A and B are shown apart, each in its own frame.
Chain A
């Protein structure tokens, strides 16, 4: 169940900061996150009214609200909700004085680095070391060919140099921003990548129609507004890391305007009894409504497919540990392979986690084990890692330990350590 999704890393950080834990406080935090998101939408709507029609602002706000990522941010990512609030406030201020747009872009970079802990790949490209390595590798690869066209080195050097390759590498970081598959077709993404639906695919048609209206309206103010928003979203994308939906989140706002522009004008045409527009209106309305319902059903039924599996692993470990009488054991070790397990421990088990018998580290029972201990970790930590991550289901039949419980996760979140997690006792 979607609402049963356990506490996630960002929530843990906030709850532990205030020294609170447990499901009740988690839901209080989620409530605040959703309230924050409604404020975001409200501020956004007010900002659009200053540039465009009130109807378009309303439609844009609805489009933003119905995107699954918005719901997921409220449920799982409170820090991103705060970021979105900064963004829309910055947009509102920027409409009064453009200097705020620049400050907003800078603030977003700082927020990504400091608060979200994003270490964007672009930073490693700027010092040209990666480029130099790539140039050397490319030239030596070409030189290793036994038969090839003869091209003098000076000619190759015109483009094979660290300056051009830095440009190339920066582009490689920046260009995936223009990814319609992630923005509009996540429901049926050809890569089946781990991301959340940003827009429902029927909105792509409205987006194209919206481009037409943007061009013919020749509204310079609107055009500049959208352009600046897209540039800011692009900067945020380049200076962030992680799943596509987290990096592309800000693009939702300008694109929602383009889509709402199309939708509003479609409504106007329907009012004029335009048959084709009416058909198009019915088509997109029905499909978007279906997409909305379907997407939430899908999120609910395939939670492991859409959302991060790491919180599920921690939930499993600690719920299994809470069923054991931990006083009977001299050591309780929980893997930290996929995050700070101590932080999660405070949330699930409270302050007993401060006890010295709790150890929050990765382990390898094939090399080292303590008797009278409980271990919670990945299959590979119990039976040894496998290079190809091919640990079969029989791993739990091992005389080294007595398995209490195990669970299989959909995705590989600890490569080489298998997709199974378990809790086991070593006597």
Chain B
């Protein structure tokens, strides 16, 4: 009976998790970010033409904004777009499904690390509702898909007593590498650490079995096409933009900089990047500028709940203390190191998106921390209060993610208004010979393409006109009758038979003064007026 109840509760948490990740994806977050729109439109293009927006046939990397996004997310999104059409729900469903599968493997991992199954169930409930799990599953992030594959790969590697499990582990790590850049370093690094087990070797002088490197070779072979099918220097575009040398100086004082202090500060910065992922305040509360100004921002919360960040420290001490006792504890440290490595090589101090692969390991350490506290202080009242507090915190997290974040996330990266206005704009655009779209965004064209489900075959014809690979910044380009630029109404009102998508500060009076000009519609996003559709005869 107890067993049935247990299975029922596990299933309930999974179903609840699935619903939380899938309900109302078109409303919360209210609008797509440009990376989401790019993934969606490329998936649509692949569905219609088997080519990306530039006309590349079945690419492994999407050129997109010249950032060469791994293409796997787009391929996984194709069936959803086929079934549901090109909309936010279809684009985000891949991430939502990945998030749901990911919690299944979280459960399996928890069972490996916690002997008390009811306690594992409690941890499963708490951890499956962590802010990062909800947030990253409700946005179209390639990294969330990658993190799911990475988690499965890590789980299979941990239990890899048979050749088949190891092969599957490599396969999933490969899929992770095809889904997001950071896994291309993290996955081979984790396999290498798993094979060598360097911490164990600190104490034991054992002969190295070179056969253990075979999975690493397998993974490298599996990843060759990523680099072979693309110009590998272009694949490193993102790294070139973001590496640690790029923005080193703000942290080191120029006044005392010399070769020796350069080494001191440089090693310090790299160390700081690494340790920032175990700094409790970063895990549970602190929000860095580069996080706040991006779609990874979770209002008022870190990746983990507030208490979990501190409990992580307890679990970390336990793991460190038992590091020589069992491989499974060393494996968590290897997992952390491998997951942090790609993020540590970039200039940002703490970057959840680039290190998403580590968070299941972080959660397992939190679970071990909970277990340590529980086994030392078994006070019934305390347990009841703790459960109550976690249930309320889970409800707060759900409200925060599904409702409140819509209010907070109307920044640069989730501009809004396109979803509301573009279908109407598209419906009347065939009546005009010239269309001008004015957006404050460097890649504003992607929202137009996405929300009008623009025919990819037409777009692909103009790929030669687009900014060349390597170009950064404003990637807007003009094609056919479409022009992407700032509207200057004092001059542009003279244009005949033109449809404008522009900002809201052009007043009714200014438009009405022009014979034949008309404000077709003022567009509101979830919070405020954000665009105007204006036409001239």
Question: Across the interface, do B30 and A214 meet the contact criterion of CB distance under 8 Å?
Answer: no
Question: Across the interface, do A145 and B310 meet the contact criterion of CB distance under 8 Å?
Answer: no
Contacting chain B: which of A170-178, A381-389, A395-403? A170-178
Closest Cβ of chain A: how far from B357's Cβ, in Å?
21
A24 within 8 A of B: no
Which of A149, A168, A178 sits near B279, CB closer than 8 Å? A178
A180–B525 Cα gap in the complex (Å)? 40
A216–B322 Cα gap in the complex (Å)? 8
Q: Mark B461-473, 1 if CB is under 8 A from A, else 0.
A: 0000000000000
Instruction: List the A residue with the shortest CB-CB distance to B316.
Output: A211
A160–B396 Cα gap in the complex (Å)? 7
Complex interface: chain B residues within 8 A of A167 (CB):
389
| Interface of chain A residues 148 through 166 with chain B (CB within 8 A) | 148-149, 151, 155-156, 158-160, 164
Q: Mark A174-197, 1 if CB is under 8 A from B, else 0.
A: 011011110011011110100000
A159–B399 Cα gap in the complex (Å)? 8
A50 within 8 A of B: no
Complex interface: chain A residues within 8 A of B82 (CB):
none
A305–B256 Cα gap in the complex (Å)? 13
Indicate whether A147 sits within 8 Å of B30 (C-beta atoms), given known contacts A155-B395, A211-B320: yes
How many residues of A are in contact with the other chain, CB < 8 A?
53
A205–B396 Cα gap in the complex (Å)? 36
| Interface of chain B residues 223 through 264 with chain A (CB within 8 A) | 250-253, 255-256, 260-261, 264
Complex interface: chain A residues within 8 A of B318 (CB):
215
Closest Cβ of chain A: how far from B121's Cβ, in Å?
22
Complex interface: chain A residues within 8 A of B440 (CB):
none
A291–B268 Cα gap in the complex (Å)? 10
B439 within 8 A of A: no
B403 within 8 A of A: yes
Question: Across the interface, do A144 and B407 meet the contact criterion of CB distance under 8 Å?
Answer: yes
Question: Across the interface, do A175 and B395 meet the contact criterion of CB distance under 8 Å?
Answer: no
B167 within 8 A of A: no
Main secondary structure of the interface of A (DSSP, over half): helix
A290 within 8 A of B: yes
Closest Cβ of chain B: how far from A324's Cβ, in Å?
33
Question: Across the interface, do A180 and B321 meet the contact criterion of CB distance under 8 Å?
Answer: no
A243 within 8 A of B: no
Contacting chain B: which of A55-63, A295-303, A333-341, A369-377? A295-303
Question: Across the interface, do B349 and A190 meet the contact criterion of CB distance under 8 Å?
Answer: yes
Contacting chain A: which of B46-54, B182-190, B270-278? B270-278
B413 within 8 A of A: no
Indicate whether A188 sits within 8 Å of B265 (C-beta atoms), given known contacts A178-B309, A297-B256: yes
Complex interface: chain A residues within 8 A of B307 (CB):
171
Question: Across the interface, do B317 and A151 meet the contact criterion of CB distance under 8 Å?
Answer: no
Q: Which 7 A-B residue pairings sit nearest by Cβ, starting from the closest?
A: A215-B321, A159-B396, A178-B280, A180-B279, A190-B349, A149-B24, A201-B268
- Cβ contacts A to B, 14 pairs, < 8 Å: A141-B404, A146-B524, A159-B393, A171-B306, A179-B279, A180-B279, A180-B282, A188-B268, A190-B276, A204-B275, A294-B261, A294-B264, A301-B253, A302-B253
Complex interface: chain A residues within 8 A of B267 (CB):
287
Instruction: List the B residue with the shortest CB-CB distance to A151.
Output: B403
Question: Across the interface, do A178 and B310 meet the contact criterion of CB distance under 8 Å?
Answer: yes
Instruction: List the A residue with the shortest CB-CB distance to B267.
Output: A287
Question: Across the interface, do B527 and A146 meet the contact criterion of CB distance under 8 Å?
Answer: yes
Complex interface: chain B residues within 8 A of A146 (CB):
524-527
Indicate whether A148 sits within 8 Å of B526 (C-beta atoms), given known contacts A178-B313, A188-B251: yes
B202 within 8 A of A: yes
A168–B321 Cα gap in the complex (Å)? 32
A130 within 8 A of B: no
Complex interface: chain A residues within 8 A of B250 (CB):
192
A65–B286 Cα gap in the complex (Å)? 30
Which of A178, A184, A214 sits near B281, CB closer than 8 Å? A178
A208–B320 Cα gap in the complex (Å)? 8
Complex interface: chain A residues within 8 A of B278 (CB):
180
Seen from chain A, the residues whose Cβ lies within 8 Å of a Cβ on chain B are: 138, 141-142, 144-149, 151, 155-156, 158-160, 164, 167-168, 171-172, 175-176, 178-181, 184-185, 187-190, 192, 201-202, 204-205, 208, 211-212, 214-216, 276, 287, 290-291, 294, 297-298, 301-302, 305
Tell which of A145, A151, A216, A301 has the most Cβ of chain B within 10 Å: A145
A294–B406 Cα gap in the complex (Å)? 47
Complex interface: chain A residues within 8 A of B396 (CB):
159-160, 164, 168
Question: Across the interface, do A145 and B399 meet the contact criterion of CB distance under 8 Å?
Answer: no
Question: Across the interface, do A205 and B271 meet the contact criterion of CB distance under 8 Å?
Answer: yes
Question: Across the interface, do A149 and B284 meet the contact criterion of CB distance under 8 Å?
Answer: no
A151–B276 Cα gap in the complex (Å)? 36
Complex interface: chain B residues within 8 A of A158 (CB):
392, 395
B27 within 8 A of A: yes
B28 within 8 A of A: yes
Question: Across the interface, do A149 and B23 meet the contact criterion of CB distance under 8 Å?
Answer: yes
Which of B23, B310, B317, B322 sits near A175, CB closer than 8 Å? B310
Complex interface: chain B residues within 8 A of A149 (CB):
23-24, 27-28, 402-403
Question: Across the interface, do B272 and A201 meet the contact criterion of CB distance under 8 Å?
Answer: yes
Which of A138, A185, A298, A305 sits near B272, CB closer than 8 Å? A185
Instruction: List the B residue with the shortest CB-CB distance to A201.
Output: B268
A250–B347 Cα gap in the complex (Å)? 32
Closest Cβ of chain B: how far from A160's Cβ, in Å?
7
A171–B515 Cα gap in the complex (Å)? 61
Which of B28, B255, B272, B393 sits near A188, CB closer than 8 Å? B272
Q: Mark B368-399, 1 if CB is under 8 A from A, else 0.
A: 00000000000000000000010011011001
A298–B525 Cα gap in the complex (Å)? 50
Q: Mark B295-308, 1 if CB is under 8 A from A, else 0.
A: 00000000000110
| Interface of chain B residues 309 through 332 with chain A (CB within 8 A) | 309-310, 313, 316-318, 320-323
Other contacts beyond A147-B27, A180-B279: 12, CB < 8 A: A144-B407, A156-B399, A158-B395, A168-B306, A175-B281, A175-B310, A178-B309, A179-B279, A179-B280, A187-B268, A297-B256, A298-B253
Which of B30, B276, B524 sits near A180, CB closer than 8 Å? B276
B208 within 8 A of A: no
Closest Cβ of chain A: how far from B211's Cβ, in Å?
26
Which of B256, B275, B313, B320 sits near A294, CB closer than 8 Å? B256
Closest Cβ of chain A: how far from B260's Cβ, in Å?
7
Closest Cβ of chain B: how far from A216's Cβ, in Å?
6
B152 within 8 A of A: no
Indicate whether A141 sits within 8 Å of B399 (C-beta atoms), given known contacts A178-B309, A188-B272, A298-B256: no
B170 within 8 A of A: no
A297–B260 Cα gap in the complex (Å)? 13
Indicate whether A175 sits within 8 Å of B268 (C-beta atoms), given known contacts A147-B30, A149-B24: no
A78–B392 Cα gap in the complex (Å)? 45
Indicate whether A204 sits within 8 Å of B253 (C-beta atoms), given known contacts A141-B404, A211-B316: no
